[in-house]
Chain A
Amino acid sequence: MTQQVAPAAEKKKMRTPIESGCPDGVQYMHPLMVKNFGKWKYHDRPRPGVLHHVAYSGDEIWTVRVGTQRQLGPYEINLLCDIFDKYGEGHVRFTIRSNIEVMVSSWEKVGPLIQALNDAGYPVGGTGNSVTMISHTQGWLHCDIPGTDASGVVKSLMDELYEEFIKEEMPNRVHITTSCCQINCGGQGDIAINVQHTKPPKINHDLVANVCERPSVVARCPVAAIRPAIVNGKPSLEVDEKKCICCGACYPPCPPMQINDPEHSKLAIWVGGKNSNARSKPMFQKLVAAGLPNNPPRWPEVAAVVKNILYTYKKDARDWERVGDWVERIGWPRFFELTGLPFTKFHIDNWRGARNSLNASAHIRF
């Protein structure tokens, strides 16, 4: 990198931005996609990692899906682009889960393209009933409030689930997500790995008055556990620790209310989130395991629980059942029995609307 510094003269006359907004994607699209826009007939998957779409015009397009580390530098970008230019046709797109899709106009190009990608250390997969790339957040690399890292959790898990990415052997697609705080930017997942704090924030009362807008911090608390107070003669905030649910919502607007703790910020596993409307309506993920240590660099305890759930699902679920569909069929008692995970009082919801999650029937599986 050459960190360039602009000459002083330039600084004075600031450039007015061109507020162009979201660029038109059509100019970068593969020509066959432009030509057949809105006129596709059907698709199939000739092998894991490859989609084949056929248009009414008779045109066909093959898409090769590549797993990446999401954070890319110039070396990776140029290495991959060289491959896309030589073996592909120079047009790519990214999926919501950070996979790159390379489009080519003939089946003959697919094999050599996959070979070149594999030779450069990049996996092809993530289609259909596979475990696709884990969607992740920023974590310690760049976030201001993270309880853990994201890239590291994903890298260590994808190493373990590599075979499930390049094959299509799951009952249905599996979307795993991670989030480094309870805001849960990672979103809903078939399996979600999220930070769960277990102790109230530790407050640095010397800093609160200078750093935090106290009324907004008070308003931010979901359970009204924060109130203004004078501590050591200084205006500050105090937390009713019995009421506090340790969610960390006060930490972003008030960094002196440190919620992250190397010991007490734990990881929890949630299952059954689903965004698609297929079969059932979209579903939220449900808490199944908690109290797992935040144990870098490879988080082995988390990996063990994720693999336990994943392979129990793989063995027991029927074709087309997502994790949430599967649990709805077999029931939660059987889920806890099959996975051997402990069921506790903490699994019983007590947040708003919680009654809706209780079993108000004689429907019991034996």
Chain B
Amino acid sequence: MSEQPKPPKDPTRHSTYIPIEKQSTKPFHPTPMLDQLESGPWPSFVTGLKRLAHSNNMMVDLMGQLEHSYKTRLGYWKGGTVSVFGYGGGIIPRFSEVASLFPESKEFHTLRVQPPAGNHYTTKLLRQLSDSWSKWGSGLIAFHGQTGNIMFIGTTTENTQHFFDEINEYGFDLGGAGPCVRTAMSCVGAARCEQSCTNEHRIHRTLVNNFIDDMHRPALPYKFKFKVSGCPNDCMNSIQRADFAVIGTWRNDMQVDQSEVKSYVQSHGRKYTIDNVIARCPTKALSLNDDDTLEVDNRSCVRCMHCINVMTKALKPGTDRGITLLIGGKRTLKIGDTMGTVIIPFMKMDTDEDYEKLRELAATVVDFWAENGLEHERCGEMIERIGLANFLEGIGVEVDPNMISHPRTSSYVRLDDWDAEAEKWVARQKEKNSGEQVARA
């Protein structure tokens, strides 16, 4: 462990502060193991728990139970059924298995609450949420859980309703828990990032707020997550973690400011530019010209973002922007990890109709999966079971070579309708080409 931090200038205004006065009436449990997590330079959650334990008995016993877990190396929370009036989900009930030892925290439920899209807050809002939770709960809030919820950790069954009523009045709603549509996430995106290719904020709210009923009343095969990243850097980890991943992208040439390219080469050197920009292009679509300008083979570019990440002043996504959709990402249970699969290589997100189209597509996907998914089967697992082609047919999306890494390598397949399927492709290409001609004319 690195050195101890310097003593604070003002000990009463510091992450290590412990109140002198104890307002909670219950004596502290000894916590020799947790105490060891108070030292060191990183702000300590244990010190935070202790501050709360100075003001309420629930946190006194919560610390006792946590120390008990550290000592015995086992967890002691059990689930159950707790909900607010009118909803079936959104609360993670926790009942202590060692309540006889730690009775004050025998009920220690979490409320999952949807944060504002993009996780934007004012200090006024943070204080307001904190005040509400100190009134009705333990005071402890996690910003944020892995799904993206604000997690208000620790209250009684009784008080979940009062807390919800209070924050619901000023615009906050519960997230999902159980087999339902879950709280969504979107990156900072267009609000502060030049790499953003779409309005993440609007997509996020369009998608998830269309499924409010499916979020509050869990009745799907399993969880379903939407995540929105404004570019292929995918800061929201959506391809890997979301059943329905929206990634901003573009389809025309990337924007290149050649004078900025030159100044980058000048300040970083040719070798550095070649090694770190040109040679790192996954499809060899870049070439540095003799005059230190950049040549881009845009038809081979896969929009990976690497060169744009490195040369933030010289390079930018193109101007004909939209989104790529991938479906079926999830974590380990049950068949092992899956990444999402491209379902829509590109769609524009400019008009209200575009948003309506996206909303309808999401509804079609969720409906098809709700009908065909087995209990506890994520959408990606269902696709794995039935095959991508059947899934596409089910949601009414035509096949596209962007959906695969490569065509099949096994000859074990029946091709009864080959001619008809080939004809469909030819017809679609014709339609596409004539459409492009109309657009050009």
On whether the two chains bind one another, the answer is: yes
Q: Does A241 contact B (CB under 8 A)?
A: no
Among A53, A68, A141, the residue within 8 A (CB) of B153 is A141
Whether the pair A38, B190 counts as a contact (CB closer than 8 A) is yes
Whether the pair B162, A6 counts as a contact (CB closer than 8 A) is yes
Whole-angstrom distance from the CB of A223 to the nearest CB of chain B? 10
Whether the pair A122, B127 counts as a contact (CB closer than 8 A) is no
Whether the pair A17, B86 counts as a contact (CB closer than 8 A) is yes
Q: Which residues of A contact B100 (CB under 8 A)?
A: none
Task: List B270-296 residues whose CB lies under 8 Å from chain A.
Answer: 272, 275-276, 280, 282
Whole-angstrom distance from the CB of B62 to the nearest CB of chain A? 8
Contact mask for chain A residues 1-36; partner B; CB cutoff 8 A; 1 contact, 0 none: 111111000000011111111111111111001100
A288 to B84, CA, bound (A): 44
Q: Which residues of A contact B56 (CB under 8 A)?
A: 1, 3
Whether the pair A352, B336 counts as a contact (CB closer than 8 A) is yes
A137 to B153, CA, bound (A): 13
Among A19, A119, A247, A265, the residue within 8 A (CB) of B8 is A119
Whether the pair B143, A70 counts as a contact (CB closer than 8 A) is yes
Which of the segments B75-83, B360-368, B419-427, B432-440 contacts the partner chain? B75-83
Q: Does A220 contact B (CB under 8 A)?
A: yes
Whole-angstrom distance from the CB of B303 to the nearest CB of chain A? 7
Contact mask for chain B residues 201-214; partner A; CB cutoff 8 A; 1 contact, 0 none: 10011001100110
Q: Does B235 contact A (CB under 8 A)?
A: yes
Report if A19-B5 is in contact (Cβ < 8 Å); known contacts: A75-B48, A140-B75, A219-B376: no
Q: Which residues of B contact A38 (CB under 8 A)?
A: 190, 196, 199
Among B45, B234, B276, the residue within 8 A (CB) of A275 is B234
Q: Does B125 contact A (CB under 8 A)?
A: yes
Whether the pair A137, B146 counts as a contact (CB closer than 8 A) is yes
Q: Which residues of B contact A147 (CB under 8 A)?
A: 75
Q: Which residues of B contact A276 (CB under 8 A)?
A: 232-235, 305
- Chain A, residue nearest B281 (CB): A279
Q: Does A348 contact B (CB under 8 A)?
A: no
Q: Does B414 contact A (CB under 8 A)?
A: no
Whether the pair B42, A158 counts as a contact (CB closer than 8 A) is yes
Whether the pair A94, B158 counts as a contact (CB closer than 8 A) is no
Whether the pair B123, A25 counts as a contact (CB closer than 8 A) is no
Whether the pair A73, B52 counts as a contact (CB closer than 8 A) is yes
Among A123, A148, A187, the residue within 8 A (CB) of B41 is A123
Task: List A320-366 residues whose CB lies under 8 Å from chain B.
Answer: 320, 351-353
Q: Does A280 contact B (CB under 8 A)?
A: yes
Q: Does B164 contact A (CB under 8 A)?
A: yes
Among A40, A69, A137, the residue within 8 A (CB) of B48 is A69
A151 to B312, CA, bound (A): 35
Whether the pair A28, B153 counts as a contact (CB closer than 8 A) is no
Whether the pair A282, B339 counts as a contact (CB closer than 8 A) is yes
Which of the segments B181-189, B351-359, B390-398 contacts the partner chain? B181-189
Whether the pair B173, A19 counts as a contact (CB closer than 8 A) is yes
Whole-angstrom distance from the CB of B106 to the nearest CB of chain A? 13
Which of the segments A177-185, A232-240, A308-316 contacts the partner chain? A177-185
Q: Does B193 contact A (CB under 8 A)?
A: yes
Whole-angstrom distance from the CB of B66 to the nearest CB of chain A? 6
A30 to B79, CA, bound (A): 39
Q: Does A105 contact B (CB under 8 A)?
A: no
Q: Does B135 contact A (CB under 8 A)?
A: yes
Report if A278-B212 is in contact (Cβ < 8 Å); known contacts: A37-B191, A219-B376: no
A297 to B121, CA, bound (A): 33
Q: Which residues of A contact B348 (CB under 8 A)?
A: none
Whole-angstrom distance from the CB of A275 to the nearest CB of chain B? 4
Q: Does B333 contact A (CB under 8 A)?
A: yes
Q: Which residues of B contact A73 (CB under 8 A)?
A: 48-49, 51-52, 130, 139-141
Task: List A212-232 residues whose CB lies under 8 Å from chain B.
Answer: 216, 219-220, 222
A274 to B280, CA, bound (A): 16
Whole-angstrom distance from the CB of B435 to the nearest CB of chain A? 28
Whether the pair A140, B85 counts as a contact (CB closer than 8 A) is no
Q: Which residues of B contact A90 (CB under 8 A)?
A: 122-124
Q: Which residues of A contact B430 (CB under 8 A)?
A: none
Whether the pair A29, B130 counts as a contact (CB closer than 8 A) is no
A319 to B310, CA, bound (A): 11
A15 to B160, CA, bound (A): 13
A5 to B124, CA, bound (A): 26
Q: Which residues of A contact B2 (CB under 8 A)?
A: 159-160, 162-163
Q: Does A47 contact B (CB under 8 A)?
A: no
Q: Which residues of A contact B299 (CB under 8 A)?
A: none
Whether the pair A53, B134 counts as a contact (CB closer than 8 A) is no
Q: Does B403 contact A (CB under 8 A)?
A: no
Q: Which residues of A contact B171 (CB under 8 A)?
A: 20, 23
A22 to B181, CA, bound (A): 12
Report if A121-B5 is in contact (Cβ < 8 Å); known contacts: A20-B168, A21-B209, A96-B185: yes
Whether the pair B70, A296 counts as a contact (CB closer than 8 A) is yes
Q: Which of A63, A69, A353 has the most CB of B within 10 A?
A: A69
A139 to B73, CA, bound (A): 11
Whether the pair B183, A22 counts as a contact (CB closer than 8 A) is yes
Among B55, B154, B183, B216, the residue within 8 A (CB) of A19 is B216
Q: Does A76 contact B (CB under 8 A)?
A: yes
- Given A33-B120, A155-B46, A297-B34, output 13 extra A-B contacts at Cβ < 8 Å: A18-B168, A21-B209, A22-B183, A29-B118, A71-B153, A73-B49, A74-B130, A96-B148, A121-B43, A122-B43, A139-B75, A148-B73, A298-B1
25 contacts between A and B (CB under 8 A): A17-B85, A17-B87, A19-B213, A20-B172, A22-B116, A40-B190, A69-B44, A84-B123, A92-B123, A93-B121, A96-B236, A119-B8, A122-B15, A138-B145, A145-B75, A149-B69, A152-B34, A275-B234, A277-B302, A277-B305, A279-B304, A280-B304, A297-B33, A297-B37, A318-B276
Interchain residue pairs A-B with the least CB separation, the first 4: A159-B40, A121-B15, A262-B73, A140-B69
Interface residues of A, Cβ cutoff 8 Å to B: 1-6, 14-30, 33-34, 37-38, 40-44, 53, 61, 63, 67-79, 81-82, 84-85, 90-96, 98, 100-101, 103, 119-123, 135, 137-149, 151-152, 155-156, 158-160, 162-163, 182-188, 216, 219-220, 222, 247, 249, 255, 260, 262, 265, 273, 275-280, 282, 284, 294, 296-298, 318-320, 351-353
